Amino acid sequence: MGNLDKYSKIFMKSFSVEKTKLKKLKYQSVPQWDSVGHMSMVGALEDAFKITLEMDDIIDFSSFEKGKKILKKYKIKI
């Protein structure tokens, strides 16, 4: 499975959204992406890509697209 697939599946599972909705997905744009959902998604990404996100990056991680840029800092190319 490629990184984009892995990344996308975490969002689809964490927030119960379809693949077609991912591009516009933002923090609090769906009920499931609340503060608790945010931490759950971050934890799932950390486990899947074997990284530990810094606090500033967790706060900046405000959308599906923004997350791709943040993961680049950790040498994860989506």
Partner 1 sequence: MKKKSLNSVELLDYQPNRYPFLMIDYVTKIIPGKKAIGYKNFTNNEWFFPIHFPGHPNVPGALQLEALAQMLTVAITTLPGNKGKVTHAISHIVKFKREVLPGEKFDIETEVLSWKRGICKGTGKGIVSGQIACEAEMIITIPEILDQYIPKK
Q: Which residues bind partner 1 (CB under 8 A)?
A: 27-28, 35-36, 38-39, 42-43, 55, 58-62
The answer for residues whose C-beta is within 8 angstroms of residue 18's C-beta and 6 or more apart is: 12
User: Nearest-CA neighbor of 39 among 61, 17, 24?
Assistant: 61
By C-beta, is 16 or 28 nearer to partner 1? 28
Shortest gap between Cβ of 34 and partner 1 (angstroms)? 8
Tell me the residue type at 73. Answer: K
Q: What SS3 state is found at 77?
A: coil
By C-beta, is 43 or 65 nearer to partner 1? 43
By C-beta, is 4 or 43 nearer to partner 1? 43
